[in-house]
Amino acid sequence: MPAALTEEDVIALCAQSGPKTNRCVYPVVNPAYFIKYGGSHTMGEALTQKYVYRRTTDVPRAPRMPKVYRAFERGPRTYIVMEFINAPTVDEYLAEYPSEAEYVYPSIASALSWLLDLPLPQYAGLGPVGGGLAVHKFFGADDDLAPLEFADALKRTPGRGDKASVDFESEERCFYHSDIREPNFLYNPETGELSLIDFQHVGILTTSFVSYALHGSNDTFVRDMAARITFPKLVQLPAMGCAASILMQFGGSNLGLNEQGLPMSRRQDVQDPENVDVS
């Protein structure tokens, strides 16, 4: 990021864009930087994107993606300043050249396969790189945010009884992408280069969540990608169905559990500031 573009400059540029968007470019003519801003969960998005970008330098046939130059928080918002890639989104390109899908779609499937096979960071938890709430279409409420930071909390949900076991901790962990849509990819027709953008719905979860994103959708494009990617249809339907019904029943709340997935009383639902560990 240029030294002349300060954090205050970034905030001012975003403010000028108005309340109906969460992104802008700089400069307006021949932009070099793409700025995205939003709630606190986007810091996890920035850290995930930075990690995945670094892997493009040592993994063969990696897709292109924007380099993150800076991410910072100001009040309730996080600002991510990244590289601007000058290429149309796949939906824009195919709207003009629909027959090109036979060349573009295999590139998207290859990029997704590359992402799913990425080595995990050391000591990786569930959710975005660096920690925080997972963002996945499975959760389906409040911007697709997981209601808890640890997915294994679902298996200790009060009232579950002895029905279908929801034990995702026994599964392998891997990277996932749960917002597989044409606008989330760029395609340069001159070079044939495909770029992976928008890491809000990218993170680390267990294989059932990866399979759910690929095989649990009725969307035509997602089904096409699932058919091209060699990721098994291994969703444990009773477990995922139980988890989905739990989330629906509790309306995306904290499920009556603390961050460790242990039951807590209603009076503990809002954490006492005196008990917050700030060390």
Q: Note whether 211 and 178 are within 8 A (CB).
A: no
Confidence (pLDDT) at 257: 47
> Among 95-104, 249-258, 270-279, which is the least confidently predicted range?
270-279
Closest-CA residue to 187 (of 66, 67, 64, 99): 64
Quick check: is 266 in a domain?
A: no
* pLDDT tens track for 184-211: 999 999 999 999 999 999 999 888 888 8
Q: What is the CATH number of the domain that holds 77?
A: 3.90.1200
Quick check: is 271 in a domain?
A: no
Concatenating the DSSP letter of every residue in 81-102 gives EEEPP-S-BHHHHHHH-GGGHH
* Structural domain for 55, as ranges: 7-253
Confidence (pLDDT) at 133: 81
Q: Note whether 172 and 78 are within 8 A (CB).
A: no
Quick check: is 105 in a domain?
A: yes
Quick check: is 154 in a domain?
A: yes
Quick check: is 80 in a domain?
A: yes
Q: How far apart are CA 60 and CA 242, in angstroms?
A: 39
- The residue ranking higher by pLDDT, 84 or 234, is 84
* pLDDT tens track for 16-72: 988 888 899 999 999 999 999 987 668 889 999 999 999 998 777 899 999 999 999
Q: What's the pTM value of the predicted model, to 2 decimals?
A: 0.80
Q: How far apart are CA 195 and CA 191, in angstroms?
A: 11
- The residue ranking higher by pLDDT, 85 or 20, is 85
Q: Quote the tokens at residue 274.
A: 């005196």
Q: How far apart are CA 78 and CA 60, in angstroms?
A: 32
Quick check: is 268 in a domain?
A: no
Closest-CA residue to 198 (of 119, 150, 144): 144
State the helix-helix crossing angle for 207-215 and 220-228, rounded to 10 degrees: 120
- When divided into structural domains, the chain yields a total of 1
